[in-house]
C-alpha cells in the first residue's frame, strides 16, 4: 500500500484515539472492522488522491463519521453537563476529522486535497449537532482574530 495512503488511514485512526478514551469492546470491534475495510480500500487504490476521492464517496466515510458520533454521544451521556458536553464532543470530533483530512491529504494534488476536504466537511455538516458545532467554531475563530495580543 502507498505510504501516503497508510498515513491517511493512520491519521484517521489517531483522530479517534487522540480524541476519546475508547474502552468499550463493542466500539473497539466496530473501529477494528471499519478500519479493516478502509485498509482494504486503500490497498486497492493507486495513490492517496485516488484513495481520498474513493473514501469521500464511499459508505466507509459514513461508518467512520458514525464512530465519532457514537463516541461523542457516549461521552455526552456520561458527562453531568449533558448538552454542553455533547456540543464540545461533537466540536472535538469535527476538529479531529478536519485535522485528519488536512494531514492525510497533505501529499495529494492541491485540487484533489481541497475537493476531498470539502466533501468530508459537507458530509459532516449534515450530521445532527456537527453542523451547529462547526458554525460556532467558525464564529469563535472569526471573533478571535480581533483579540488584542499581549506583548
Read off the pLDDT of each residue in 66-74 and give the average, rounded to a whole number: 81
Compute the mean pLDDT over every residue in the chain, rounded to the nearest whole number: 74
- What is d(CA 48, CA 22) in angstroms, rounded to the nearest whole number? 28
More reliable by pLDDT, 43 or 126: 43
Torsion sign over Cα 64, 21, 14, 31: negative
* Highest-pLDDT range among 7-16, 81-90, 91-100: 7-16
- What is d(CA 137, CA 113) in angstroms, rounded to the nearest whole number? 22
- What is d(CA 29, CA 105) in angstroms, rounded to the nearest whole number? 26
Instruction: Report whether 42 contacts 13 (CB < 8 A).
Output: no
pLDDT band at 34 (very low <50, low <70, confident <90, very high): very high
Q: What does pTM read for this prediction?
A: 0.53
Read off the pLDDT of each residue in 47-60 and give the average, rounded to a whole number: 89
Residue 149: phi and psi, rounded to 5, are: -85, 140
pLDDT at position 86, please? 56
pLDDT at position 19, please? 81
More reliable by pLDDT, 151 or 20: 20
Instruction: Report whether 17 contacts 100 (CB < 8 A).
Output: no
Question: Is residue 16 classed exposed, middle or buried when 0-12, 13-18 and 19+ CB atoms within 10 A define those classes?
Answer: buried
Q: What percent of the chain has pLDDT over 70?
A: 50
Amino acid at each position: 500500500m502507498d505510504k501516503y495512503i497508510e498515513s491517511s488511514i493512520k491519521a484517521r485512526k489517531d483522530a479517534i484515539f487522540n480524541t476519546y478514551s475508547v474502552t468499550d469492546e463493542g466500539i473497539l470491534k466496530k473501529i477494528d472492522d471499519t478500519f479493516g475495510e478502509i485498509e482494504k480500500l486503500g490497498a486497492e487504490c493507486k495513490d492517496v488522491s485516488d484513495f481520498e476521492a474513493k473514501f469521500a464517496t464511499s459508505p466507509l466515510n459514513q461508518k467512520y463519521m458514525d464512530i465519532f458520533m457514537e463516541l461523542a454521544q457516549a461521552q455526552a451521556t456520561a458527562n453531568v453537563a449533558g448538552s454542553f458536553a455533547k456540543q464540545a464532543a461533537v466540536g472535538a470530533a469535527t476538529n479531529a476529522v478536519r485535522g485528519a483530512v488536512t494531514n492525510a491529504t497533505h501529499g495529494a494534488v492541491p485540487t484533489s486535497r481541497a475537493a476531498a476536504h470539502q466533501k468530508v466537511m459537507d458530509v459532516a455538516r449534515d450530521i445532527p449537532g456537527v453542523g451547529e458545532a462547526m458554525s460556532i467554531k467558525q464564529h469563535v475563530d472569526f471573533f478571535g482574530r480581533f483579540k488584542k495580543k499581549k506583548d
